[in-house]
Amino acid sequence: MKKAFPYTIFPLGDSALVLEFGDEIDLELNQHIQHIFKKIKQANLNYVTDAVPAYATLAVFYNLLEVPYDREKSSFETVAEKLRVIVENSRSVDIAKEKKIIEIPVCYSLKFGIDLTELAQKNKMDIAELITIHFSTVYYVFMIGFLPGFAYMGEVDASIATPRRSTPRQEVAAGSVGIAGKQTGIYPFSSPGGWNIIGRTPIQLFKKNAEPPMLLQQGDKIKFFSITEDEYKNYKGRHI
């Protein structure tokens, strides 16, 4: 028996809606959402312009001018009904093929890991221990959002999970690896940000002319490995 995932549908403005399957970080739930995301893509509905899977939700954007007109109901209802059919027919989740683990080098030096000291203190351990815990886990990419190619990965071991900084930084350098709650992530671009920064990867995560333009996709498994500052310099400009 497959687990049933109850959901609700509500509008996200007048040209999008959200299928909400829950409000927690859960691997099985997230894989179910990915499965539905693929089914919606495959259905190739001419009025669907974008579909955005997240942790526990899937947003679908549509072009109101293309939605089949029905005087009895709103376009939202028309789209919601169509999507309900797709979800109902997507019960059997094909067991995701064992994905290859993508390995990502990280230089966990104090120069790059600007919050290492604070994080180690907060979590009452030494820095080396914190780093080891971070790179010993295989992480799963739950969603992409915030910035182009920014992967929300989890879950971070409870012993090093740390809330976002109360005041976000004006600028976090591209390649920075951070922790926010039970999530870990890498900034593909320099950006303002509130995650606790523990290191930096020399890997370019987003290449605008590549297809797809980004290294990490929802559903990927990734593992970090530690490199020295010298190794970091030699990696510079190289891709996986």
Task: Write down the least CB distance from residue 13 to another protein, Å.
Answer: 4
Q: Which contiguous run of DSSP H or E holds residue 35?
A: helix 27-43
| Interaction of residue 194 with another protein, rule CB under 8 A | no
CA 189 to CA 206: how far, in whole Å?
A: 8
Contacting another protein (CB under 8 A), which of 80, 127, 133, 214? 214
Which residues make Cβ contacts (< 8 Å) with residue 20, sequence separation at least 6? 7, 8, 9, 10, 56, 57
Window of 43-51, 87-95, 123-131, 133-141 that interacts with another protein by CB under 8 A = 43-51
The distance in angstroms from the start CA to the end CA of the chain is 39
| Interaction of residue 143 with another protein, rule CB under 8 A | yes
Backbone angles phi, psi at 38, to 5 degrees: -65, -40
CA 111 to CA 224: how far, in whole Å?
A: 18
Measuring CA to CA, which residue among 82, 88, 162 is closest to residue 123? Answer: 162
Window of 11-19, 85-93, 105-113, 128-136 that interacts with another protein by CB under 8 A = 11-19
Task: Write down the least CB distance from residue 32 to another protein, Å.
Answer: 15
Q: Which is nearer to another protein, 64 or 128 (CB)?
A: 64
Q: Which is nearer to another protein, 61 or 127 (CB)?
A: 61
DSSP 38-102: HHHHHHT-TTEEEEEE-SSEEEEEE-TTTSPP-TTS-HHHHHHHHHHHHHHTT-SPPPPP-PPEE
Q: Which is nearer to another protein, 80 or 133 (CB)?
A: 80
Q: Which is nearer to another protein, 74 or 136 (CB)?
A: 74
Contacting another protein (CB under 8 A), which of 7, 55, 112, 135? 55
| Interaction of residue 237 with another protein, rule CB under 8 A | no
Contacting another protein (CB under 8 A), which of 191, 220, 226, 235? 191
The site string for another protein over 171-190 (x = CB under 8 A, - otherwise) reads ------------------x-
Q: Is the dihedral of CA 222, 223, 229, 232 positive or negative?
A: negative
Q: Scanning residues 17 to 36, which ones bind another protein (CB under 8 A)?
A: 18, 20, 23-25
Give the Å distances, CA to CA, from 88 to 36, 39, 50, 52, 54. Answer: 10, 11, 21, 19, 20
Give me the residues that bind another protein (CB under 8 A), please: 10-16, 18, 20, 23-25, 37, 49-57, 59, 61, 64-65, 74-76, 143-150, 152, 189, 191, 206, 208, 212-214, 218
